[in-house]
């Protein structure tokens, strides 16, 4: 008989593990072991579950690259002992966190599923139970004794997405995430249906490599009509700046005024990597499609194609560490490394 999958829950913080302080009405983190007590249904799953928690669980707004490293290391040291991982974080920055973790793990062969909730686990109408139970089911799901998912996913409100394709789109509704440029990997209804065609194939038998060195001298520069040269200049002149996610309009369009293009040119000449990402929820940057983006390509702006901003900043943090030449950097950035970008 096949052995029951062994799942590790990694609790980092967020609403899912919070409880209301009825005196102050504020939400505060509680001892994670209580989550299992709160969901006795977990006992019914055909797997064994263990959990581990950050010593000081945090709101996901407080996440930084040291926490990313802590999550990655927790999975790394337990990688051989468990068949799948469910990482609980707050939903606010979950797309950033999970996108970065997807780059940090090379040759992943096991599921790493991020989830959280909009309402605390103890709340009567909570979404936490469904999100947690189904995430564990997904992490356990196997075919021919191999995990069905062997990539970093994000499960929320009946859908499993590729994590590095998601964005948080709603602060109120249970359906809090979208992935407009890539279909869900699985949908949960009466049955849990996997969309096999869209799921990444497991890395061959290569060893897991965990890339923990991230560069955080990066910035997101969102354009808006009326942005001044003073603003752009001061951002591009930040000390030690290495990379910029330039959030442009539509299919990657930006002002073609001289002051703007000259500032970008100077930054790129200094070695700063500038990536063009659209402000739109869905669709792709196509540099050269409109006159307003032809020059961007010419001066060395990298096309983020249909990558999300969350994934774009994560990919910069990951790739900048490698000290690639400008040509190689553009090559690897515009290529899909973890399924985060669609290649034509
Ligand atoms: N503020 C919370 C967090 O991101 C919200 C949530 O858990 O969904 O940590």
Q: Return the CATH number of the domain spanning residue range 6-210.
A: 3.40.50.1170
Q: Which atom of ligand 1 is nearest to the CA of 60?
A: 9
Question: From atom 5 of ligand 1, which residue's Cα is the shortest distance away?
Answer: 90
Looking at residue 32, its pLDDT comes to 66
For residue 157, the Cα-to-chain-centroid distance in whole angstroms is 17
The backbone torsions φ and ψ at residue 132, rounded to the nearest 5 degrees and listed phi first, read: -70, -45
Q: Which residues of the chain have pLDDT under 70?
A: 1-2, 29-36, 38, 344
Q: Return the CATH number of the domain spanning residue range 218-333.
A: 3.40.50.40
Closest C-alpha among 292, 287, 291 to residue 260: 292
Tokens 């890395």 locate to 203
CB under 8 Å to 9, separation ≥6 — which residues? 35, 49, 50, 51, 52, 85, 86, 87, 88, 132, 136
| Mutational test site, ligand 1, from 18, 58, 91, 174, max ligand atoms within 8 Å of CB | 91
Asked if residue 109 lies in contact with residue 164, where contact means CB atoms within 8 angstroms, the answer is no
The answer, yes or no, to whether any atom of ligand 1 lies below 6 A from the CB of 60, is yes
Which DSSP letter does residue 202 get? P
| Mutational test site, ligand 1, from 71, 90, 97, 171, max ligand atoms within 8 Å of CB | 90
pLDDT tens figures, 275-317: 999 999 999 999 987 777 789 999 999 999 999 999 999 999 9
Closest C-alpha among 318, 214, 302, 305 to residue 264: 302
The answer, yes or no, to whether any atom of ligand 1 lies below 6 A from the CB of 15, is yes
Looking at residue 191, its pLDDT comes to 94
Looking at residue 27, its pLDDT comes to 74
Sorted by where each begins, the domain ranges of the chain are 6-210, 218-333
pLDDT tens figures, 37-87: 767 888 889 899 999 999 999 999 999 999 999 999 999 999 999 999 999
For Cα atoms 106, 177, 309, give the angle at the middle one, nearest 5 degrees: 60
Please check whether the two domains, 6-210 and 218-333, share a CATH topology.
yes
The answer, yes or no, to whether any atom of ligand 1 lies below 6 A from the CB of 12, is no
Residue 211 to residue 214: CA distance in whole angstroms: 8
For Cα atoms 181, 207, 339, give the angle at the middle one, nearest 5 degrees: 5
Q: Which atom of ligand 1 is nearest to the CA of 18?
A: 7
Looking at residue 154, its pLDDT comes to 98
Instruction: With H, G, I as helix, E, B as strand and everything else as coil, classify residue 186.
Output: strand
Closest C-alpha among 271, 246, 270 to residue 323: 271
The backbone torsions φ and ψ at residue 84, rounded to the nearest 5 degrees and listed phi first, read: -165, 160
Question: From atom 7 of ligand 1, which residue's Cα is the shortest distance away?
Answer: 90
Known catalytic residues are 15
Asked if residue 287 lies in contact with residue 301, where contact means CB atoms within 8 angstroms, the answer is yes
């Amino acid at each position: 008989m096949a052995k029951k999958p062994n799942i590790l829950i990694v609790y980092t913080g967020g609403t899912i593990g919070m409880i209301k302080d009825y005196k102050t009405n504020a939400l505060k983190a509680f001892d994670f072991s209580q989550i299992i007590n709160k969901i006795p249904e977990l006992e019914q799953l055909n797997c064994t579950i263990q959990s581990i928690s950050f010593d000081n669980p945090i709101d996901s707004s407080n996440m930084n690259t040291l926490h990313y490293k802590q999550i990655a290391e927790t999975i790394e040291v337990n990688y051989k002992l468990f068949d799948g991982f469910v990482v609980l974080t707050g939903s606010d920055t979950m797309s950033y966190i999970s996108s970065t973790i997807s780059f940090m793990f090379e040759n992943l062969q096991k599921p790493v599923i991020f989830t959280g909730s909009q309402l605390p686990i103890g709340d009567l109408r909570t979404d936490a139970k469904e999100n947690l139970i189904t995430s564990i089911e997904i992490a356990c799901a196997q075919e021919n004794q191999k995990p069905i998912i062997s990539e970093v996913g994000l499960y929320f409100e009946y859908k499993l997405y590729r994590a590095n394709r998601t964005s948080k789109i709603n602060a109120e509704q249970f359906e809090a995430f979208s992935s407009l440029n890539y279909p869900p990997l699985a949908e949960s209804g009466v049955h849990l249906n996997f969309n096999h065609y869209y799921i990444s194939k497991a890395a061959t038998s290569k060893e897991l490599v965990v890339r923990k060195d991230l560069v955080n001298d990066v910035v997101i520069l969102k354009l808006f009509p009326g942005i001044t040269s003073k603003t752009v200049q001061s951002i591009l002149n930040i000390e030690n700046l290495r990379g910029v996610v330039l959030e442009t309009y539509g299919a990657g369009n930006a002002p073609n005024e001289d002051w703007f293009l000259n500032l970008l040119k100077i930054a790129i000449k200094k070695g700063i990597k500038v990536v063009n990402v659209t402000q739109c929820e869905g669709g792709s940057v196509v540099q050269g499609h409109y006159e307003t983006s032809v020059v961007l390509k010419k001066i060395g702006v990298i096309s983020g194609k249909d990558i999300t901003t969350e994934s774009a900043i994560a990919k910069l943090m990951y790739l900048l560490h490698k000290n690639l030449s400008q040509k190689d950097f553009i090559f690897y950035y515009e290529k899909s490394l973890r399924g985060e970008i669609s290649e034509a």
